[in-house]
Amino acid sequence: MRPIVLCRGEYLNDFLSKNTHEIRFRNCKGAEELGFAGKGLMLNSDYKSWTFNHHLFNQAILSPKFTDEAIDHTNKLFNELEIYWSKRSYSMAAYFDTLSNEKSDHQSARVINSVKLFQALRKLSYKANDVLQGMEFINQKLNAIIKSRRQEIEEKPLDEHLPHDMLTSMIIKNTLRDDNYIETGEATRPMTDTEIRVNILDGIFTGTYKIGNMLSFIVYYIAHNPDVKKKMLKEIDSIFQDDKMRPITKDDFYSLSYCEAIVKEVARIHPVIHLLTRYIDKPNKVAEYHWPADSLFLINVKSVHNNDDYWEEPNKFNPDRWIVKNFEPKKGSFLMFGGGLRLCPGRKLATIELVCLIALLFRKYEIDLVDMNTPIKTTNSGTMVLCVDLLVEIKPRN
């Protein structure tokens, strides 16, 4: 199929409007074989099914209580990460065990099962047989996790507090456990286990790699811009004073405006997703031309983000542009989370994790590149830019 590449923001205004029911990919047998067809968000071309999943996914991940939970989990995961920095291998427990002769103190079934699950996820980019076998294993593991969490919820009294993580929120949505439960028909039915499983997979596929690579790019640009680093540390120190240990709170997160500006500017100048795909199954007018059904569009994010028609000094890394009073990027010119009806539902979670990780890392550690003259090594994987190699030196901050 011949794709049409869009490189200007004004061509996207109608195309990415919330009234356009465009989809990301056309129907294909591969999605059916993997069990994704008509389910979840990423590969779902059934508009009615997608709307249902999108509504429940958003309610699960965009609530204020989920924000608290996300910040709390980011604190806990960072504290776990620090444990392994005193070892010879800079990694989490599972990776530490695979990269070092010395084993971690976390040889639990939970860690071992996590390793197997994510090894299976990595195989999904290999040969067809590996993909099918991997998906069978992944589905079994996720089904077991969902079943276990359902049982935990059922065993708790109705008036007992439940966590507000994504899995729990999806299970209880539109049930008696849901604070906003109103029984009004099919549109507000609970999610099935299969729907929950595919949505969890969507979150893993579309979120995990993006956050990891984005954090690498953030560290790289901070290291190469000492004035930005100075402003960032001033903001962090003003909030945490000399306390390098206390957990980040929701108030702290909303006060880290310059850290958030850094996240946005890195996403603008070095987007992790450099191409957005959109497919139309009905005739549509795009970029002043009429296109037939079954047309595939590629939106060149890098081209839009670096266009001097929309950005002042577009090739300059300048987080300050985001903190100018009343600043808003021109419509269609900033695509960090895509746009239109299919705007990334995980945008809030991604922002929370990245802003909090910046503060947790730099309030306590001095982070420098091993070689300032070596450019960051990246590779393109489909629509995504991946960091291949970024060597840093980390030491306690005075």
Degrees to nearest 5, angle at CA 255 with 210 and 270 = 30
Helices 47-61, 193-203: crossing angle, 10 deg rounding: 70
Strand segments, DSSP code E, in the chain are 3-6, 275-280, 284-286, 289-291, 295-300, 365-369, 377-381, 384-389, 392-396
Give CA 31 to chain center in angstroms.
21
Q: Is 356 annotated as a binding residue?
A: no
Distance CA 152, CA 345 (A): 27
Kindly give the residue spans of alpha helices, DSSP state H, lying in 331-390: 347-362
Question: What's the token pair of residue 309?
Answer: 């028609």
Residues 351/62, Cβ–Cβ less than 8 Å: no
Give the list of residues 6+ apart from residue 374 with CB closer than 8 angstroms, or none: 391
Tell me which residue of 134, 298, 260, 250 sits closest to 201, measured CA to CA: 134
Distance CA 72, CA 63 (A): 15
Tell me which residue of 353, 305, 64 sits closest to 207, measured CA to CA: 353
Distance CA 360, CA 343 (A): 28
Q: Which positions make up the binding site for heme?
A: 344
Q: Which positions make up the binding site?
A: 344
